[in-house]
Structure 1
Amino acid sequence: MQINGKSVFNGIAIGRLFVYNKAENQIKRKKVTDVRKEIERFQNAREESKKQLSELYHKALKEVGEVNAAIFEVHQMMLDDLDYEESITNMITAQEVNAEFAVASTGDNFSEMFAAMDDDYMRARAADVKDISNRIITVLQGENHSIIQSEEPVILLADDLAPSETVQLDKSKIISFVTRHGSTNSHTAILARTMNIPALIGVDFPEDADGKMGIVDGQEGVLIIDPQVSVMEEYTAKKEKEDEEKRLLLELKGKENITLDGKKINLYANIGGVGDVADVLANDAGGIGLFRSEFLYLESEDYPTEEEQFKAYRTVAENMAGKKVIIRTLDIGADKKVDYFHLDKEENPAMGYRAIRICLDSKEIFKTQLRALYRASYYGTISIMFPMIISVGEVKRIKEIIREVKTELDEAGVPYKDVELGIMIETPAAVMISNELAKEVDFFSIGTNDLTQYTLAIDRQNPKLDRIYDAHHPALLKMLQMVIENGHKEGCWVGICGELGADITMTEIFLKMGLDELSVSPSMILQVRRKIRECRIEG
C-alpha cells in the first residue's frame, strides 16, 4: 500500500511501523470543597510544568540550537500568562471544580480563540496552549510526561505530535515520523528538519499499519506499507547510497574550512526559498551567502506583501539560528519574468531594465521589501545585498531609502537591527570602481555568472556560444583579483556567490587570491570543504 503525503524533511527510512496513540487525559468534572487547596494544586503543577519545560529547553538547545529551542521558553511564558492563570483560578473558585477540569476547559477555550484568529502566527498558538494545558493535567494526575520509546528503531506514525513530544524522541529508536496533521511551518516540522529525521505530514495511514514493515520516501512524500520484495530491494539500494553520502557528511560535519597551512574561509550556501534551508543545515553550511528573494515574486500571482515577505525572511533567519543569512533584494528582468510587473519586451534583456534599476524606479515596491528585511533582522543575523550595481550614486540612493525605512520603523516602534550592507559585483563597471564602492558597503559578493557574460560579451543563455564561454578566462580572473584587493584596502570582505564558486578546480586559486567567502549550492558544500582542507596556500 502506498499513501501520499507532504514531505517535511528528505531522506529514506526503512523499518517497522509503530502507531503512537496519545494517552488521552480522561478529565472528569468533580466538585471540590477546599477551593484554596485546589488552586494550590494547580499552582504547584504549573511550577513543575515550567521546570519540565526548562529541562526540555536545555535539551533542545544542545540538539537543535537556540532559535528552535525557543518554543519551550514560549511555553514557559504562556504558563505565566495572567489571563490564562486567572481563567483557571476563577473557574475553580466560582464553580468549585477540580483543577484538572478547570485547566482542560481553559485550554480548550483559549485554543479555540487562537484558532479563530486571522494571523497565522496566532493560529499556531492554538496547539501550544493545548500542549501546556495537557502538561499541567499530566502533572496533576501524577503521571510522567512520557518520552516515546520502542524496543527497535521504528517509523513512528501519529495523528500529530506536539513540539515537546518531538524533541523528546529518542533518535536512536526513531528513524522517521509520519503524521496525519501538522504543517511544514510548524515548530514540529522545524525541529524535524534540524534533527535530520525523514518526516511526512498529511498522511492518512490506517490504524492497522502498526507492526508492519514500511518505507518513508521523504523525497517523493510517500509512505509505503508492506512493500513488495522488489520495492524493498529498490529502496534498500537507495538507502545504502544515501548512507554512504551521510558517511561523507559525518566525516566533514563540524570541521573547519581551513587549508593544510591554516588559511580559513567562510563556506555558505545559495538558496531560492524557505524550503531550501533544510538542505543548508543538512550539509553543514556556515550560513546562507545568497537568498534569491525574487523567487517570492516569481511564485506569486501578485506583488508579495510586506507581511508575506517578512514571514519568509524571518523563518529563514530563525531556522539558521544566528548564522549569517545574506538576502539579495529583488533581481527580476533578463531571464526572470514576472507578468504583474508589466515590463516591456526588450531586445537585449540581460543588459536592460532589471534588478536594482527597477527597484530604484519603483520605490514603494523596494521599500516594502526593505521594511520586511529590517523587521526580520531582529530574529537572526541578516545581511542585505543589492544586485547589478554600476555606480556609487546607486549605492548612496539605496542608503537614503534605507534611512527612510528605518525612520518609519522607529516611529512605529518596530524593532530591528543594523545590518551589513553589500553589493553584487557582476558588471565590469563595478569592478573598475570597486575601490570607491568599497568605501560605501561592508562586503562584495561577486556574481561570476553575469560578470563572465558581460566581460566576454557572451549571452550565457545562448547555447551556440557555449564553446567559447570561458569562466576561467584570464580577464575574469584579473577582475576577481582586483575586486578582492580593492575591497580589502577599505575593510570590505569579498566573496563569490556565482556558479564558479563551486568549481573545485578553482578553489585553490581563489584561496591564493585572498577570497574571504564562497557561497555554493547546498549539495556542493562538502565537496568544496574537502577541497579546501586538501589545499596548501603558502609556498
Structure 2
Amino acid sequence: MRPEVYCGTAGAPGIAVGKLRHLAYGTNGESATATPDQVGAAFGAIAARLRRDVQSMRARGENGTPADILEATALIADDPDLRSAAIGEVENGTPADRAVLDAAERYANVLAALSDPTLAARSADVRQIGRRVVDQLRMGGGPAPVPDDEPVILVAEELGADDLLDPSATVVGGVSRLGGPNAHVAIVARALGVPLLFGVNVPTSSAGREAVLDAVVATLTVSPTAQRLEAARRSAMVARRRREELAALRGQPAVTLDGTPVTLLVNVSTAADAVAGLAAGAQGSGLIRTEVAFLNTRHWPTRAEHAAALRPVLAALAGHRATVRTLDFAPDKLPPFLWGTSSRHRGLELMLDNPHALADQFAAILDEADGAQLRVMIPMVVSVAQLARCRELLGAAAAERGVPAPPLGAMIELPEAVESVDELAAAADFLSIGSNDLTAALLGLDRRDPALTPGRIAEPVVLAAVTAVVRAGRRHDRDVSVCGDAAGDPALVPLLLSTGCRTLSAAPTALDEVRAAVRDTTLEPGE
C-alpha cells in the first residue's frame, strides 16, 4: 500500500508512531432508543467517569492543567440546562441520540458566540460531552472497553481533551479536523507531551493502518514505508530518552562551565504553558502573548475579556516573574475586526491609534496581577515618545487602582529601535529582543518566509544589532532578554551568550535543552 501524506497545523510538538483509531462518538451507528430517565442517567454516567479519571490523576500526583480541564468538563455533563434540554426533546418524541446531539450543539453555539474567550473555548467540550453521552446510550450502559496496550493515534472530527486521557487506550498522538492550538485538547496534549495535528481530514478507510505523526513538520503519513517507519520509531525513542534524561537534571542551575549564571524564563500563551515552563525550571515568564486569545474576535477586546484571558495565566505564575506583552496584532495574526488595515500598521501603532483599547488592557493586567511579579512589555517600540505615552496610560490605570505602576519594558524588534536603543534603554525599565521580527526586518524577509529560521540571527547584521541592544542595556543598567525562537534553539545559546545576554525566554518544551546548552558553554573572557 502506498504511503499517504496529509498536512495540517501542529497543536503540540513531537513524533509518534501508532495505529490509527477513528473516533466517531455519536455520529454513526444504530440509533439509540432511550427513555428520558435513561438519557439523564447517561449524562450522570459520563460525569461520574470523568470524575473518576480526575481522582485517579490526582491520586498519582497529577494536579496540573489536564486534571483541571477534565474536572471542568465533568461539570458540563452535570449542567442541568443541557441535560434538561436533551430530556425535553426525548419527551417530545425526538430519538435520544438526535436529542442529545442537538441540545449539545445549541448549547455549544451559545458559548462559541460569547465574547469571553475562556467560555467560548468550552464549546468543543460541550459537543464532546454530547457525543460521549450518545456513545454511552448506544452501549446500553455496558462496560468500558478493555484497555489496549497497542500505541494508537486518535483521529476525529473534533478530538476532546478526555480522549487523550482515555484509560482504555495507549494514546501516542492525535489528529483533529476541527480546533486549533488554543483548544483545550491542545493544552492537554502539550502538557502530556502527546503530538497533535489540526486541520487534517483523514478518511475512515485508514482505520487500523500504521501511521507516523510528525508534528515537527505538521504531517501525518499513513502506511509509511518500512524505512520511514523505522526512522520515525528511532527518532521518537531517542527524543523520549533525551527528554527523560534532561528532565532529570532540572534541579541543576543554568550556569556556564566558567560559572556565569543565566536566567531562564518561559514564553507562554496559555496557563498550561506557564505550568509546564515552571515545572521545567523557568524562573518566570519573559513573554506572555495576549493577542492569541483574540485572533478570531470581531471587536477590540474589552477590559472584561482581557481579564478573563489573563486570569488563569497570571494565577499560574503567582510568585514568579510575569512579563505581559500588550496586543501585538500583525499581518500574519490579524483578527477579523482589523481586516483591511494597512499592512504598515501593526502592534503598537494600532494600539496607540486606539488608546481606549490599550487603557482597557492595562486595567485588566493590573486587575489580574495579584500574586505575580508583574512587568508590562510594549511590542514594536521605535521611539521614546511611544513609550512615554504607554507609561502615561499605564500610570493612570495604576493610580485609579491605588497601586504602583509595574516596570514597563520595550521590545526591540525593528531597525529603527536599534538605531535609537540608547534613548529607549534610558526610558524603559527593561528591554527584550524579539529575535524573529528583528531578524526578518534586518534581512528584508516576511515573517512567514521559510527562509526565516532562528539560525539567521547569526547573520552579521543581526548579531551586531543584538550586541548593540545588550550593550545599551548594560550602559543603562537594564535587564535585556531574548525571547524569540533563537532563545529556544540550543545550538544558538553560546552565540547569544557571547553577545553578553544573560536572560533567555523560550517555549516550555525547549527549556531543558536550553539549560543543557548553557551548562555546556564556556565564555571567553570579557563576554
Q: Quote the residue 1:518 is aligned against.
A: 504
Aligned CA distance change for structure 1 residues 102 and 86 (closer, same or farther; 3 Å): farther
Quote the offset at 1:363 in angstroms: 1.7
Q: Is the 8 A contact 1:111 1:126 kept in 2?
A: yes
**2: CA distance between counterparts of 1:382 and 1:402?**
14
Q: Quote the residue 2:105 is aligned against.
A: 112
Please point out which of 375, 389, 397 is paired with 2:392. Answer: 397
Please point out which of 157, 165, 168 is paired with 1:167. Answer: 165
Please point out which of 148, 152, 156 is paired with 1:150. Answer: 148
SS at match of 1:306: coil
Q: Quote the residue 2:450 is aligned against.
A: none
Aligned CA distance change for structure 1 residues 13 and 5 (closer, same or farther; 3 Å): same
2:378 pairs with 1:386: yes
Deviates more, 1:60-69 or 1:204-213: 60-69
Quote the offset at 1:167 in angstroms: 1.4
**1: CA distance between counterparts of 2:45 and 2:194?**
30
Q: Quote the residue 1:253 is aligned against.
A: 247
Please point out which of 284, 287, 290 is paired with 1:290. Answer: 287
Quote the offset at 1:378 in angstroms: 9.6
SS at match of 1:144: coil
Quote the offset at 1:423 in angstroms: 0.5
Q: Quote the residue 1:28 is aligned against.
A: 33
Q: Quote the residue 2:451 is aligned against.
A: none
For 1:213, give the aligned amino acid. Answer: E
Please point out which of 191, 196, 199 is paired with 1:194. Answer: 191
Quote the offset at 1:54 in angstroms: 2.5
2:16 pairs with 1:13: yes
**2: CA distance between counterparts of 1:361 and 1:244?**
50
Q: Quote the residue 2:473 is aligned against.
A: 480
For 2:493, give the aligned amino acid. Answer: I
Please point out which of 494, 497, 505 is paired with 2:494. Answer: 505
2:212 pairs with 1:215: yes
For 2:515, give the aligned amino acid. Answer: R
For 1:258, give the aligned amino acid. Answer: A
Note the alpha carbon deviations across 1:259-298, whole angstroms, 9 max, x for none: 3799865423558x88x969x879957365235668999x
Structure 1: segments with no counterpart, 5+ residues: 32-37, 345-352, 408-416, 439-443, 454-458, 488-492
- TM value normalised by structure 1: 0.63
Q: Quote the residue 1:441 is aligned against.
A: none
For 1:531, give the aligned amino acid. Answer: A
Q: Quote the residue 1:306 is aligned against.
A: 300
Quote the offset at 1:144 in angstroms: 3.5
Q: Is the 8 A contact 2:481 2:505 kept in 1?
A: yes
Quote the offset at 1:385 in angstroms: 0.7
Q: Quote the residue 1:34 is aligned against.
A: none
Aligned CA distance change for structure 1 residues 291 and 234 (closer, same or farther; 3 Å): same
SS at match of 1:153: strand
Quote the offset at 1:399 in angstroms: 1.5
Q: Quote the residue 2:223 is aligned against.
A: 226
2:358 pairs with 1:363: no
Note the alpha carbon deviations across 1:207-242, whole angstroms, 9 max, x for none: 443443333333454443333xxx431453355345
**2: CA distance between counterparts of 1:474 and 1:27?**
67
Q: Quote the residue 1:530 is aligned against.
A: 516
**1: CA distance between counterparts of 2:434 and 2:209?**
52
Quote the offset at 1:19 in angstroms: 4.7
**1: CA distance between counterparts of 2:65 and 2:428?**
35
Q: Is the 8 A contact 1:283 1:523 kept in 2?
A: no
The structure having more radius of gyration, on CA atoms, is 1
For 1:306, give the aligned amino acid. Answer: W
Quote the offset at 1:29 in angstroms: 4.3
Aligned CA distance change for structure 1 residues 10 and 436 (closer, same or farther; 3 Å): closer
SS at match of 1:214: strand
**2: CA distance between counterparts of 1:509 and 1:83?**
60
RMSD: 5.9
Quote the offset at 1:127 in angstroms: 0.9
Note the alpha carbon deviations across 1:436-463, whole angstroms, 9 max, x for none: 854xxxxx2343879x99xxxxx94489
Aligned CA distance change for structure 1 residues 152 and 521 (closer, same or farther; 3 Å): closer
Aligned CA distance change for structure 1 residues 68 and 263 (closer, same or farther; 3 Å): farther
Aligned CA distance change for structure 1 residues 9 and 82 (closer, same or farther; 3 Å): closer
Q: Quote the residue 2:449 is aligned against.
A: none
Quote the offset at 1:529 in angstroms: 0.6
Q: Is the 8 A contact 1:63 1:195 kept in 2?
A: no
**2: CA distance between counterparts of 1:331 and 1:73?**
33
Quote the offset at 1:424 in angstroms: 1.9
Quote the offset at 1:397 in angstroms: 1.0
Note the alpha carbon deviations across 1:311-335, whole angstroms, 9 max, x for none: 89977986898246634335689x9
For 1:398, give the aligned amino acid. Answer: L
Aligned CA distance change for structure 1 residues 461 and 534 (closer, same or farther; 3 Å): closer
